[in-house]
Amino acid sequence: MSGKNLSLTLRVWRQTGTTGKFEEYKVTDISEDSSFLEMMDILNEQIIKNGGEPVAFDHDCREGICGMCSMTINGMPHGPLPGVTTCQLHMRNFKDGETITIEPWRARPFPVIKDLVVDRTAFDKIIQSGGFISIRTGSAIDANIIPIPKDVADRAMDAAECIGCGACVASCKNASAMLFVGAKVSQLNSLPQGKAEKDRRTLAMVKTMDDAGFGSCTNYGECQAACPKGITLDFIAQLNRDYAVAKVKDFFKSTGKKRAGGD
């Protein structure tokens, strides 16, 4: 709580259709205690009052958990502060008089819909292809029947913290989704209840990821640095291991008896 107010110059990406450009705006009297998105609200109210169309951007929970907000701020997905989403970034992290550049996620599998809004349904498609444990409602066994060691459960939880925002993809020069896929695969493959579908899941999710146009991982680690939830490269390593095992098993399996219609 500082009570100081900022004046800023904003270079904001404006796009309708397939082409866009930067527009420059000035905002004044921004409280240092405001969040970045509250600053965007003020900008939009100002644009509207001047007869323009407000900047479209995605946002919802504004408490860092839904994964909807997605802005590249001064070249960094979710801005300069490590471990936070755009909505949790506060204006005290900027200086009075500063120029801030605001862009959408830049990645081919995430086409821009308008201004700063991108289409991330490719992530949903990856989950739909295998990011689940097949268990019908009502057919589960008692929750305490399978003991799960605390460290296994904790590691699954570390992986499960992913909010699916796509900052990893936006930060990667190859637009790789390995951190996102690695996190989900690691969560489900590590748990005993997820083992039955381990190979199937891994192959299917990687295939969908590749088909959607996400690039390869070249171990630069930009994704880990950009991730607001601290998902680490360890999970990419696990994905690579699980994928190699599944692929080898699949290779040998496929040389066996011809199966009808199976996968």
Partner 1 sequence: MKLDPKIPAGPLKDKWTKAKFDYKLVNPANRRKYSIIVVGSGLAGASAAASFGEQGYNVQCFCYQDSPRRAHSIAAQGGINSSKNYQNDGDSIKRLFYDTIKGGDFRAREANVYRLAEVSGGIIDQCVAQGVPFAREYGGTLANRSFGGSQVSRTFYARGQTGQQLLLGAYSALSRQIGLGQVKMYNRHEMLDLVIVDGHAKGIVARNMITGAVETYRADAVILCTGGYGNVFYLSTNAIGCNVTAAFRAYKRGAGFANPCYTQIHPTCIPAHGDQQSKLTLMSESLRNDGRVWAPKKKEDCTKAPSDIKEEDRDYYLERKYPSFGNLAPRDISSRAAKEACDEGRGVGPEVGGKRLGVYLDFAAAIQRYGKIALREKGKVAGETDEQAVLRLGEAAIAERYGNLFDMYQCITGENPYKTPMRIYPAVHYTMGGLWVDYDLQTNIPGLFCAGEANFSDHGANRLGASALMQGLADGYFVLPYTVPNYLASQKAGMTPGGVALDKAAGAFDTVRADVVAFNKRLMSINGKTTPREIHHKLGRIMWEYCGMARTKEGLIKAIGLIQELRKQFWSDLKVVGTADGLNPELERAGRVADFLEFGELMCRDALVREESCGGHFREEHQILEGVEKGEAKRDDDKFFHVAVWEYKGAEEEPVRHVEPLVYEEVKLATRSYK
Taking CB under 8 A as the criterion, which residues in 96-125 touch partner 1? 113-114, 117, 119-121, 123-124
Q: Which is nearer to partner 1, 129 or 171 (CB)?
A: 129
Least distance in angstroms from the C-beta of 201 to partner 1:
11
Q: Which is nearer to partner 1, 143 or 258 (CB)?
A: 143
Q: Which helix (H) or strand (E) holds 240?
A: helix 234-254
Binding of partner 1 by 80 (CB under 8 A): no
Least distance in angstroms from the C-beta of 70 to partner 1:
9
Query: What are the φ/ψ torsions at residue 237 (nearest 5 degrees)?
Result: -60, -45
Contact of 71 with 112, CB cutoff 8 Å: no
**What number of other Cβ atoms are within 10 A of residue 252's Cβ?**
8
Query: Cβ contacts of residue 37 below 8 Å, gap of 6+?
Result: 57, 59, 62, 69, 86, 87
Q: Which of residues 144-183 bind partner 1 (CB under 8 A)?
A: 144, 147-150, 153-154, 156-157, 160-161, 163-164
Q: Of the ranges 44-52, 170-178, 213-221, 236-244, which one interacts with partner 1 (CB under 8 A)?
A: 44-52
- Residue that is written with structure tokens 């190699």 in the block: 244
Binding of partner 1 by 256 (CB under 8 A): no
C-alpha span between 110 and 172 (Å, rounded): 13
Choose which of 21, 97, 143, 257 interacts with partner 1 (CB under 8 A): 143
Q: Which is nearer to partner 1, 210 or 219 (CB)?
A: 210
C-alpha span between 134 and 188 (Å, rounded): 11
Contact of 116 with 166, CB cutoff 8 Å: no
Choose which of 7, 9, 28, 128 interacts with partner 1 (CB under 8 A): 128
Percentage helix, strand, coil for the chain under 3-state DSSP, each rounded to 5: 40, 15, 45
Least distance in angstroms from the C-beta of 245 to partner 1:
19
Choose which of 6, 13, 59, 202 interacts with partner 1 (CB under 8 A): 59
Q: Which of residues 200-219 bind partner 1 (CB under 8 A)?
A: none
Binding of partner 1 by 19 (CB under 8 A): no
Pairing of strands 99-103, 72-73: antiparallel
Choose which of 6, 8, 12, 68 interacts with partner 1 (CB under 8 A): 68
Q: Which helix (H) or strand (E) holds 189?
A: helix 178-190
Choose which of 134, 216, 218, 254 interacts with partner 1 (CB under 8 A): 134
Q: Which of 195, 97, 80 is nearest to 148 (CA)?
A: 195
Binding of partner 1 by 248 (CB under 8 A): no
Q: Which is nearer to partner 1, 149 or 256 (CB)?
A: 149
Structure tokens given for 64: 């860092």
Least distance in angstroms from the C-beta of 48 to partner 1:
5
Contact of 9 with 26, CB cutoff 8 Å: yes
